[in-house]
A = this chain, B = another copy of it.
């Protein structure tokens, strides 16, 4: 069983991840990833069939940085706020180079400017977490989306 401090640090990482997205702090969100990170959003069906199609794909932190710049420009008129609930965090294994395979389930809700809200997405995070200085960060985050048929799911992190 992994040490309590590490479990707490990983729990905090997920809580920060959700809070950054929910409060539109995308630049802070970026800092939760290591430099050599991979970020993907994949429909569950594609993940299970091994198909390469993704809803979002950033193969390193610079791509993720570019993405945030694009979102900042596109989001000028954004009308939704998000709310992440992240649960069932499970540290599954250590990786060869001192990281950890971690999974968690999520649901994400959205509300519009009229205060009307609903379920937006649910699925699983298939992640690798690594030590990075004093912190832990995501080196890999694959968002497996169970309800992948939502039409406007293309452009934003989950």
Contact surface of A with B, Cβ cutoff 8 Å: 1, 4-5, 7-9, 12, 14-16, 18-19, 22, 43-45, 81, 83-90, 103, 105, 107, 109, 111, 113-119, 122-124, 145-150
B1 engages A8 (CB within 8 Å):
yes
Return 6 A-B CB contacts under 8 Å, by A number. Answer: A1-B8, A1-B9, A81-B146, A84-B105, A117-B147, A119-B119
B147 engages A111 (CB within 8 Å):
yes
B85 engages A147 (CB within 8 Å):
no
Q: Contacts A83-B123, A85-B105, A109-B107 known; A90 to B19 CB distance under 8 Å? A: yes
Q: Contacts A1-B8, A45-B115 known; A122 to B109 CB distance under 8 Å? A: yes
B89 engages A15 (CB within 8 Å):
yes
B103 engages A19 (CB within 8 Å):
yes
